[in-house]
Chains A and B, each alone.
Chain A
Amino acid sequence: MSPWLPILMAVPVVGAIVVALLPKGSDKLAKQVTLLVSLLVLVLTGVMAAGFDPSGDRFQFVAEYNWIPSFGVKFGVGVDGVALVLIALSVVLVPLVVLASWHDADGVKAADGTLITPKRSVKTYFALLLVLETMMIGVFAATDIFLFYVFFEAMLIPMYFMIGSYGGAQRSYAAVKFLLYSLFGGLLMLVAVIGLYVVAGKQTFMFPELVGAIQDPTMQKWLFGGFFIAFAIKAPLWPVHTWLPDAAAQAPAGAAVLLVGVLDKVGTFGMLRFCLELFPDAAKAFTMPIVVLAVISIVYGAIVAIGQTDMKRLIAYTSISHFGFIVLGVFAMSSVAQSGAALYMVNHGFATGALFLAAGFLIARRGSPYIGDYGGVQKVAPVLAGFFLIAGLAGLSLPGLSSFVSEFMVMIGTYSSQAHGSGALTAAAIVAAVAVILAAVYILWMVQRTMNGPTAEPVKAFKDLSAREVWVLAPLVALIIGFGFFPKPLLDVINPSVQQTLTNVQVPTSTIAEGTGQ
């Protein structure tokens, strides 16, 4: 029994209660407390992660408490490599989002003095953020499937209020759409969770004990379907992706980062951990249809992104394309592709996070998300333009930046995967490669239209990034470049758990890729 994970989960929620109980008018204090708490969580996670032994047991820092014995539910937490890096991603992003959202609820004024967003409750926003942090840690740490489900559903609520109360003009539509899509998927998953418990007949929801518990292939397919639909909506995969552009475009930039960077990863994480390991036969049977959906997402997301006029929607569509890559990697059934997919989850969080935040800073200066309202920002605000460019290049997976490593691994792993006949996955990888070119189009064209060219009249009044804003973007860019050249620390942690997954799926694991980014 290790107290680490319960402590990590308790700190933010205690912080949230403190923030919520602060007296009226102490907005600044609320922000400071939130920042301190999120930094404390970051430090604690760092100390914990230092003690993670990649060659040790699969699940480490395990803690189990009886929660609801009547239902056979335990409060069971523990992390493997993939879960650990995703928790690390979450706790790195939260303090940056706190800093980035510093003035979001204060009532944002554009450069010309028009009010973009009215003043709203600052305390509530930051309390919700901390509650969300607890749930993000919990959802990745849960080893009890019931507990996972509880976090999976409950984390919708703080995000729902963050979008609905603090978002843009269409916020309530976007928030409701987000909630209903996710809730519907979640409820189907609930049926599958119950079914798993009932059919396995083991009187427990603990994941390690349920691996291999369902043998009947038909039953596997039904249960797989329940889980997969929920995760496909969450990830999101074409054709159930339509909520994401609305939600991400309407959410405040900070919330959008957590939504796309972390919450959506729960979907791909769930596919890797639960869909594959609990229902290996069904996963193999459904590989091809899912690969087709993933490839459609990759190409469709990229093409639609090119046509967007709203920056946040554009970034959301690029993410749909990237999630397609992750799903492709997960279901390619080769160790290189799966390691690449797990690495992609982290890198995408940093890259898209940086891009959303940079776009958010840009939008906060002009009050418009539309690309056509900008032009020539580089001359007025070179630092902002520089960060925007690097974040964008990470989004198109430029070699030397972190996303490149993971995208390359997914492609290579898929191309050479023999899991489903020789040619099928190779063809998928070739089609997916088209998106690499499209990615250059959507990113570079957006950068060109906003940053270069003649300076638009309202843009002339822009101030360059403040110190606070630089502090938000600099760590992300450092991580993007750092892991671009040296992904080994992440891969060392990820590889053993991916290997374990493939062993449980009974796919022969031949070679595990070392870092290829050098």
Chain B
Amino acid sequence: MNGDFQAPTIEYGTLAPLLVVFGAAIIGVLVEAFAPRYLRKPIHVPLTLLSLAGAFALVLVQVMGGQVSTAPSAMGALAVDGPSLFIWGVILVLSFVCVLLINDEGHFVASAAAVPGSADEEEAEAHSGGVGHTEVYPLVLFAVGGMLLFPASHDLLMMFVALEVMSLPLYLLCGLARRRRLLSQEASMKYFLLGAFSSAFFLYGIAMVYGFAGTVSLPGINRAMAAGNTLDPLLLLGLALLGVGLLFKIGAAPFQAWKPDVYQGAPTPITALMASGTLVAAFGAVLRVFWVGLGNLDWNWRPVIWVVAALTMVAGSILAITQTEIKRMLAYSSIAHAGFLLVGVMATYGSAERNADSLKAILFYLAVYGVTTVGAFAIVTLVRDPGGEAGHLSRWAGLGKRAPLLAGVFAFFLLAFAGIPLTSGFFGKYAVFAAALDSGTQAGDSVGGWMAGLVVVGVVASAIAAFFYVRVIVLMFFSDPAADGPAIAVPSMGTVAVIAVSLLVTVGVGLYPEPVLGIANQAASSLFIR
């Protein structure tokens, strides 16, 4: 041991998108500390949007410049490979549009600490001038930074840090809804407690796997498995615990219980961010752990994921039918979609080239599903009762007659969720199912049968899911409007832009998916750095 300090090599160019987002988040905190109240929002909005756009531009520069790195960065802590960059791009676009939704007034409480209904709350409300907590902006930036870090982590410890950086701001943001304070606080509390549990599982899993492999680096774990005994209890326990932590974040059954409560209670723009950005990030991490870290073990985790995927699709679809609240319904829909995506996660092949095919399918699905989801939640923010958003489904009756355009667009998003052809959702579902069937056939007879079985479960679940999407359309278009129906808020420019972009992508990709598929293909072809 010599005492010389070795300075770590950091690839600043490669990591620039991350640094921009985190830097802007820290500046945002300083703005909160030093800028006068009336200046905060005017500073935050451009700062947040510019940093997200800037980070996206830096991602583009790397992709266009052909400088996608093929080696791990930051001393092996991060892997900014093709799939990472694609996921970064998707997350940055999604969070950009979510911030446009966040800008709308009236979503966030002025003083989260005040007891709901108390004089304190009224006073804070009066002082704020209706703006609410401006801390929202730096919190969102930290969460987005965590989302970027999560799927790009190359070792488990970094992944844990990313998980926390992503989750902690989200716990807080969930509790900031201006209306229905108690529900919002409940959501925040539940999410925090359950999230903390799952993080603990994840951390314990890391310790176990470290005990087996002697390293936390994902390729290191893979190498250790190739050399050692893959039935080592330490490894299997560690794998199970890691799985719990990750499956919790994507909301797979049986770890899905938090999703409906949190999605319902959180301010809708934050729900949109969680349903799109967090899901994308978490799936990126799932892929990296299972494909890179546990690639040599797929005979062990495949059956488990088979059961989880089937359970998630079926549970999400069936439970959604009984929902009467629009955001809860969309939450269960998101659970079902997590199940469809898990079908794709199982589509691993022997050859790298074919693996890229299924990776492409998942990346494509994540991108188009995220965009449609943000659009759907943007519409939810517009249908309002005097007490806030009109969440109960019965309030949506006859919306097609009162606001045909809005209801039509929402119906289109629902059809996309249901995977009807000529919407983007259809191609996403098709890509994932095709990858699963193909990989099963390649792997041989018994695996082929199991994969075909899972895909059949998937299409049955899709048919069940179609029922509740269609039910909302029936309600909007074929039922008579309620006498004192909800008001349709006049959308701000930002919200209009969000809905328009989301609609354009859903329609455009539904008609001609090739460009997006091409990008996903290019990103997937380099595969994960191993």
Contacts and interface: CB of A to CB of B under 8 A. Distances in A.
Given A70-B517, A164-B478, A194 B437 contact: yes
Nearest to A167: B478
Given A70-B514, A180-B466, A157 B415 contact: yes
A68 B466 contact: no
A445 interface: no
A191 B452 contact: yes
Contacts of B391: none
Contacts of A160: 470
A73 B473 CA distance: 31
A175 B420 contact: no
Nearest to B439: A198
Interface string B494-513: 00000000000000000011
Contact of A171 (B422, B455, B478, B517): B478
B421 A175 contact: no
A68 B513 contact: yes
Given A183-B463, A184-B463, A154 B420 contact: yes
Nearest to A180: B467
A293 interface: no
A172 B433 contact: no
Nearest to A187: B459
B467 A172 contact: no
A165 B441 contact: no
Interface string B24-53: 000000000000000000000000000000
A112 B423 CA distance: 45
Interface string B398-440: 0000001000000000010010111000110011011001100
B514 A69 contact: yes
Nearest to B404: A121
Nearest to A118: B480
Given A149-B421, A197-B434, A68 B467 contact: no
Nearest to B517: A70
Nearest to B360: A70
Interface in B235-260: none
A288 interface: no
A176 B466 CA distance: 10
Contacts of B14: none
The secondary structure that dominates the A interface is helix
Given A68-B517, A179-B470, A195 B477 contact: no
A194 B434 contact: yes
Nearest to A149: B421
Contacts of B477: 161, 164-165
B524 to A, nearest CB: 11
B460 to A, nearest CB: 8
A199 interface: yes
A195 B466 contact: no
A121 B477 CA distance: 12
A199 B418 CA distance: 26
A195 B452 contact: yes
A67 interface: yes
A150 B478 contact: no
Contacts of A183: 418, 420, 463, 466
A44 B131 CA distance: 61
B194 interface: no
Contacts of A157: 415, 420
B392 interface: no
Contacts of B222: none
B211 interface: no
A407 B466 CA distance: 38
A187 B463 contact: yes
Contacts of B404: 121
A180 B431 CA distance: 22
Interface residues of A, number: 35
A175 B518 CA distance: 37
Given A150-B421, A150-B422, A191 B433 contact: yes
A310 interface: no
The secondary structure that dominates the B interface is helix
A187 B474 contact: no
A48 B105 CA distance: 59
A373 interface: no
A179 B470 CA distance: 9
Interface in B186-241: none
A172 B460 CA distance: 22
B87 to A, nearest CB: 19
Interface string A147-170: 001110110110011001100000
Interface size grouping (class) on chain B: 35 or more
Interface in B448-498: 452, 455-456, 459-460, 462-463, 466-467, 470-471, 473-474, 477-479
A8 B459 CA distance: 33
B312 interface: no
Contact of B478 (A70, A156, A175): A175
A68 B434 contact: no
A121 B400 CA distance: 11
Contacts of A191: 433, 437, 452, 455-456, 459
B422 A154 contact: yes
B268 interface: no
Contacts of B415: 157
Given A172-B474, A180-B466, A195-B452, A71 B434 contact: yes
B521 interface: yes
A11 interface: no
B470 A176 contact: yes
A446 to B, nearest CB: 30
Contacts of B426: 150, 153
A190 interface: yes
A160 B437 CA distance: 31
Nearest to B459: A187
Contact of B479 (A70, A172, A176): A172
A63 interface: no
Which of B473, B479, B517, B521 has most chain A Cβ within 10 Å?
A: B473
B421 A176 contact: no
A194 B439 CA distance: 12
A431 B462 CA distance: 40
A285 to B, nearest CB: 20
Contacts of A153: 420-421, 426
A266 B190 CA distance: 51
A440 to B, nearest CB: 38
Nearest to B408: A124
A145 to B, nearest CB: 13
B430 A176 contact: no
A188 B456 CA distance: 7
Interface in A21-78: 67-71
B459 A188 contact: yes
Contacts of B360: 70
Contacts of B456: 188, 191
Contacts of B512: 67-68
A358 to B, nearest CB: 27
A68 B421 CA distance: 14
Contact of B474 (A121, A156, A176, A198): A176
A70 B361 CA distance: 10
Interface string A170-208: 011001100110011001101100110111000000000
Given A150-B421, A198-B441, A176 B434 contact: no
A212 B473 CA distance: 42
Nearest to B463: A184
> Which 3 A-B pairs give the minimum distances between C-beta atoms?
A172-B478, A187-B459, A150-B421
29 contacts: A67-B512, A68-B427, A68-B512, A69-B514, A70-B518, A71-B427, A71-B431, A149-B421, A150-B422, A153-B426, A154-B421, A157-B415, A164-B473, A165-B478, A171-B478, A172-B478, A176-B474, A180-B467, A180-B470, A187-B462, A187-B463, A188-B456, A190-B433, A191-B437, A191-B459, A194-B438, A195-B437, A198-B434, A198-B437
Given A70-B518, A183-B466, A191-B433, 15 more contacts: A70-B513, A70-B517, A149-B421, A154-B421, A157-B415, A157-B420, A164-B474, A165-B477, A171-B478, A176-B470, A180-B466, A180-B470, A187-B459, A190-B430, A222-B452
